[in-house]
Chains A and B, each alone.
Chain A
Amino acid sequence: MKMTSMRSFGILLVALTLFSCKKEATRWRTDWLLPVLHDTLTLNQYYNDSTLSINGSQIDVNLSRTILDLGLSDLIQIPDTTIAQQYQANFTVNNVSPGFMFVNSIKTHELDLGDIQLKKVRVSSGQIQLKVYNPLNTAVLYQIELPGVLQNGQVFVQNYTVAPGTVQNPTIATETINLSGYEIDLGGLQGLEFNQLQSKLTLKTDPNGQTVSIYNNQIFKFEAAFQNLRFDYAKGFFGATVIAGQEQFNLPYLDLITNGSISLPDLDLGLQIENGFKMALRAQVEELSATNTQGQSVSLNAPSIGPSMYLAPATGSWNTLQPSTLNLQFNQNNSNIKAYLENLGANQQVTYQLQPNPWGNTSAGHDEAFANSRLRIKMNAQMPMALQADGLTLQDTFDIDLSQDLQKSHVTAATLILDATNAFPFSCDIVLYFMKDGQVWHTVIADAQLVSALQGQVDPSDGLLKKKSKLKIVLPPALVADLQDLNQVAVSANFATTDPGTGLAVQQAVQAHAFLGLQLQLQLQTQIQP
């Protein structure tokens, strides 16, 4: 009977084991169609900011960019400077009674400003930090006066009562004063000098203090540190130092072009040099060049590129200031401007020289600059927004992280479905490159083209020529299986302005209010694995 019981128990165990045996993962397939993206790409955000303007049924490119913009603070600066004045007795003075004035002296300080000779400035921002030292064993009244520094006709004067100190540990009083709105006369005592600043120090013992002795090892001094001074007015000789510079800037989107060409309509490119300072100016655009993504550089060749040009001083003052300007025009007749722009140079480089007072101090120290004085180089261009694109390819690479665990729920097949409404006069072929560390593993081509508006019809609701397209981009199973390894996708868009009649690339104008409506959906087949 015991054997029978054991057998029964064995059957029980085997049954339990079988019941709990799970050989492979539970899984099933589901299908989804999910909206991912809906957007309308327009040029609206570029209207009325001097980039684009509506001209009838077309768009004009009205490009105006400031390449260089220098103000008074960029040209005229006083570096952070500390002036100091001190008094030290030659011999011991005994029994100095309370309230006794024992110092009253003026000192002139020379500011080192290179070849700039300033007679007068007005501070728009900045500060002065005053520091006074008292080594005497009674309180001392310090009066610090800067005779050339005035605000509303009042001379800069500061009074301090500094507590008693010792030779080893003089008492120090410190204060920082905002100098905004102060005028600084740097013309010296007679007003005929330049870069000169005076200070006057007056010392008096405490009238309520004790009788003391002043020894010859006691140094009474003050320090005035001018910090971060910026001016909104300056007068003097602004020097003749050459400002040589090289400006580089990238034009957006052009750096994404990897292939193809465009043809632009004729256009004028203007370059304006503006002198808002009351001084003569020499300007020289040494080189203007652009390099595209293939490394091809084109320099702008024109008679005005290279030689020096001279600008007269500005006229007027403050609100009536009239800058002098020099306008350079580049067009088909005097330059290679068309080739320069059609090179699609993303990297633009300007090399220039600016030199104030090229003939020296001919104004006898009467150069002037105001708050609104600027040295500017502006570029402007105007043309109808039209282009001829032939295989113009824009490519951009994005990092992706689509890793999935194949032992859990995962995608087994995917298709991108793009519904587009195109009101631009170009067609577009889309290719996706799925990459691992820059190496292309899979290339996926859309099954159709985003068709040009030229092949569509006018929509009576808004009068725009439009064409709808539906593209499918099927991600093959092999690609989906590799998703966990892929880390980049490059989206390549190949544009063409093809004439529907001839099949040739022709120049097409972009209609006003053109847009590209996009609706992207993702069709997924997933394997659910709880």
Chain B
Amino acid sequence: MRLLFLFLLLGAQLAQAQQAVLLDTYGTYNSTGVRRQVADAFFYGGLIDSNEISRSLSGLQKRNTFGLQMGLNAQWQTPWSVSKDAQKWGSSYKWVFNAGVQQYAGLQFSKDLFGLVFQGGLPYIGDTLDIGNLRAEATTFSKIGIGFGNKASQSTFVLNFVAVQRNLAASLSKGSWYQTPSSAQIELGLTGQAKFNRASGQAYGLSLDIDYRFGSADSTSNEQQFQLLIQNLGVARAVQSTSYSLSGTLQYSGYSIATWQQTSVEQLAQAFLDSLGFEQALVSNWILLPAQIQLSKIIDPESQQRLAAYYGAQFMLRQTYTPLVYAGAQLKVKQFWRTGIGMAYGGFGGLRMQAYSAFQFKRSQLLLRSDNCTLRNGASLYLQFRCDI
């Protein structure tokens, strides 16, 4: 959704500008049920109060999500045409260079798992907990790319070389925890697998960023302008990932005195893992990058209308991310200041309010936005800056 605003700015670029630099940074996290105070502790540190954990727990559904996205991107739209021959198609395109670093983390979890992790097993003695249906996806990658952009439509096409620094794809399809009412026995059943790629075993690949605009850019016409934005559509190849798998059940009721005397803790832990069918291997695998596809309406910044509507939808090629829809209205307060307010639903969170302000100066623009103004279980901040030279 952040890209909606980027293109609000792009649309406002001065026609006579020869080149432009765009800086784009953002950080957002959200959850369908976990309260912001819990999540904040992971970013700002501190003790998570047990009351906050209880409140979060009471607000959770059977399936819940939590997600985080952070990134920094820089783009230079050069003054150099792809072709100097006016007869060729390349003459209407300029070279574009792009670089950035992004992080995506998404977690899908059950209410029972949240309770077990944040409260411990003691409150759940005698209860059967469903800790399955867990999915964790996290990717940190950087990219550098080259492409071309259409001078008139502002559409751009960039091919990036991608280096994945860290990637985790884990799922627990079945999981149960039961401690007998006498607390004498714990029964644990787990079925799942994970692939983990560390920084030491980097993965490399290619991705495509496409910004395609269609419709009319002129607000005086009745036709609207739309934007199809595809980012990070690509894959990377990890030569050395660690693969883990679990499939088994475990009944633990303590050990006899002789067993404690004759067996080391490491051996007991290994016996636990054996019971759960734990296996570990080094594998090579393909990593699907967290591609983002967005279709949105663009507001013409040159329009003299004081009030205009915006809307759009976005989804990502990630199972922990649910499709996002948003809609709102923009008010042109001054010639250089536009502000908007709207609602969003989906992504990592539920219904929430968003707001933004965009400032347009002679050769630069600045946009600040938050998607979590009210009704929120998260926080977000988007900063975008464009300088036309």
Residues of A within 8 A of B (CB): 1, 4-5, 8-9, 11-12, 15-16, 19, 21-39, 41, 518-521, 523, 526, 528
Residues of A within 8 Å of B381, CB to CB, are 15, 19
Against A, the Cβ 8 Å flags (1 = close, 0 = not) of B31-49 are: 0000000000111111110
The answer to whether A4 and B361 touch (CB under 8 A), given A28-B53, A35-B183, is yes
The answer to whether A19 and B27 touch (CB under 8 A), given A30-B120, A31-B120, is yes
By the criterion CB–CB under 8 Å, are B254 and A24 in contact? no
Residues of A within 8 Å of B123, CB to CB, are 31
Number of residues in B with C-beta < 8 Å to the partner?
A: 43
Q: Which of B44, B179, B254, B363 has the most CB of A within 10 A?
A: B254
In the assembled complex, the Cα of A474 lies from the Cα of B251 at a distance in Å of: 27
In the assembled complex, the Cα of A528 lies from the Cα of B42 at a distance in Å of: 12
19 contacts between A and B (CB under 8 A): A12-B385, A15-B383, A23-B45, A23-B46, A26-B41, A26-B46, A28-B50, A28-B118, A29-B47, A29-B120, A32-B121, A35-B185, A35-B253, A37-B255, A38-B253, A518-B257, A519-B184, A521-B183, A521-B184
A257 nearest CB across to chain B (Å)? 19
By the criterion CB–CB under 8 Å, are B362 and A1 in contact? yes
Contact of A35 among B44, B46, B184, B364 (CB under 8 A): B184
Could you list 4 further interchain pairs (A-B, Cβ under 8 angstroms) beyond the known A5-B387, A26-B45? A16-B383, A26-B46, A35-B254, A519-B254
In the assembled complex, the Cα of A32 lies from the Cα of B27 at a distance in Å of: 35
By the criterion CB–CB under 8 Å, are B122 and A33 in contact? yes
In the assembled complex, the Cα of A5 lies from the Cα of B359 at a distance in Å of: 11
By the criterion CB–CB under 8 Å, are A39 and B383 in contact? no
Contact of B25 among A12, A30, A37 (CB under 8 A): A12
In the assembled complex, the Cα of A523 lies from the Cα of B120 at a distance in Å of: 11
By the criterion CB–CB under 8 Å, are A38 and B254 in contact? yes
In the assembled complex, the Cα of A467 lies from the Cα of B351 at a distance in Å of: 61
Identify whether the interface residues of A are mostly helix, strand, loop, or mixed. Answer: strand
Please tell me if B313 contacts chain A, counting CB pairs below 8 Å: no
In the assembled complex, the Cα of A507 lies from the Cα of B300 at a distance in Å of: 102
The answer to whether A30 and B254 touch (CB under 8 A), given A12-B383, A21-B44, A23-B44, is no
B378 nearest CB across to chain A (Å)? 13
By the criterion CB–CB under 8 Å, are A35 and B366 in contact? no
In the assembled complex, the Cα of A21 lies from the Cα of B256 at a distance in Å of: 49
Please tell me if B260 contacts chain A, counting CB pairs below 8 Å: yes
Q: Which of A31, A35, A523 has the most CB of B within 10 A?
A: A35
In the assembled complex, the Cα of A521 lies from the Cα of B255 at a distance in Å of: 11
The answer to whether A26 and B257 touch (CB under 8 A), given A1-B361, A31-B123, A519-B184, is no
User: Closest residue to A522 on the B side, CB-wise?
Assistant: B254
By the criterion CB–CB under 8 Å, are B45 and A1 in contact? no
By the criterion CB–CB under 8 Å, are A9 and B50 in contact? no
In the assembled complex, the Cα of A22 lies from the Cα of B256 at a distance in Å of: 45
Q: Which of A8, A23, A521 has the most CB of B within 10 A?
A: A8
By the criterion CB–CB under 8 Å, are A35 and B361 in contact? no
In the assembled complex, the Cα of A33 lies from the Cα of B41 at a distance in Å of: 26
B323 nearest CB across to chain A (Å)? 27
Residues of A within 8 Å of B257, CB to CB, are 37, 39, 41, 518
User: Closest residue to A38 on the B side, CB-wise?
Assistant: B254
The answer to whether A1 and B364 touch (CB under 8 A), given A19-B27, A21-B44, A24-B45, is yes
Contact of A4 among B253, B260, B364 (CB under 8 A): B364
Please tell me if B252 contacts chain A, counting CB pairs below 8 Å: yes
By the criterion CB–CB under 8 Å, are A24 and B46 in contact? yes
In the assembled complex, the Cα of A1 lies from the Cα of B364 at a distance in Å of: 8
In the assembled complex, the Cα of A32 lies from the Cα of B117 at a distance in Å of: 11
By the criterion CB–CB under 8 Å, are B50 and A37 in contact? no
B69 nearest CB across to chain A (Å)? 13
Residues of A within 8 Å of B273, CB to CB, are none
Please tell me if B23 contacts chain A, counting CB pairs below 8 Å: yes
Residues of B within 8 Å of A16, CB to CB, are 25, 383
Against A, the Cβ 8 Å flags (1 = close, 0 = not) of B345-370 are: 00000000000000001111010000
Contact of A27 among B48, B125, B362 (CB under 8 A): B48
Residues of B within 8 Å of A5, CB to CB, are 361, 363-364, 385, 387
Residues of A within 8 Å of B47, CB to CB, are 27-29
User: Closest residue to A40 on the B side, CB-wise?
Assistant: B256
B387 nearest CB across to chain A (Å)? 6
Against A, the Cβ 8 Å flags (1 = close, 0 = not) of B117-151 are: 11111110100000000000000000000000000
Residues of B within 8 Å of A1, CB to CB, are 361-364
By the criterion CB–CB under 8 Å, are A520 and B53 in contact? no
Against A, the Cβ 8 Å flags (1 = close, 0 = not) of B185-204 are: 11000000000000000000
By the criterion CB–CB under 8 Å, are A30 and B119 in contact? yes
B51 nearest CB across to chain A (Å)? 11
By the criterion CB–CB under 8 Å, are A25 and B364 in contact? no
Contact of A520 among B50, B186, B254 (CB under 8 A): B254
Per CB-CB distance, the 9 closest pairs between chain A and chain B, nearest first, are: A30-B120, A31-B122, A35-B254, A28-B48, A24-B45, A31-B120, A39-B256, A38-B254, A8-B366
In the assembled complex, the Cα of A21 lies from the Cα of B48 at a distance in Å of: 17
In the assembled complex, the Cα of A41 lies from the Cα of B179 at a distance in Å of: 25
A405 nearest CB across to chain B (Å)? 16
A363 nearest CB across to chain B (Å)? 53
In the assembled complex, the Cα of A33 lies from the Cα of B183 at a distance in Å of: 7
B257 nearest CB across to chain A (Å)? 5
A521 nearest CB across to chain B (Å)? 6
Residues of A within 8 Å of B258, CB to CB, are 39
Residues of A within 8 Å of B122, CB to CB, are 30-33, 523
A420 nearest CB across to chain B (Å)? 13
In the assembled complex, the Cα of A9 lies from the Cα of B50 at a distance in Å of: 40
In the assembled complex, the Cα of A28 lies from the Cα of B39 at a distance in Å of: 12
Against A, the Cβ 8 Å flags (1 = close, 0 = not) of B227-262 are: 000000000000000000000000011111110100
In the assembled complex, the Cα of A250 lies from the Cα of B254 at a distance in Å of: 32
B380 nearest CB across to chain A (Å)? 10
**Interface residues in B69-108 (C-beta closer than 8 Å to A):** none
Residues of A within 8 Å of B362, CB to CB, are 1
By the criterion CB–CB under 8 Å, are B385 and A9 in contact? yes
The answer to whether A12 and B23 touch (CB under 8 A), given A1-B364, A30-B119, A35-B183, is yes
Residues of A within 8 Å of B27, CB to CB, are 19
Q: Which of A21, A24, A28 has the most CB of B within 10 A?
A: A28
The answer to whether A22 and B44 touch (CB under 8 A), given A5-B361, A12-B23, is yes
B30 nearest CB across to chain A (Å)? 15
Residues of A within 8 Å of B117, CB to CB, are 30, 528
In the assembled complex, the Cα of A528 lies from the Cα of B120 at a distance in Å of: 10
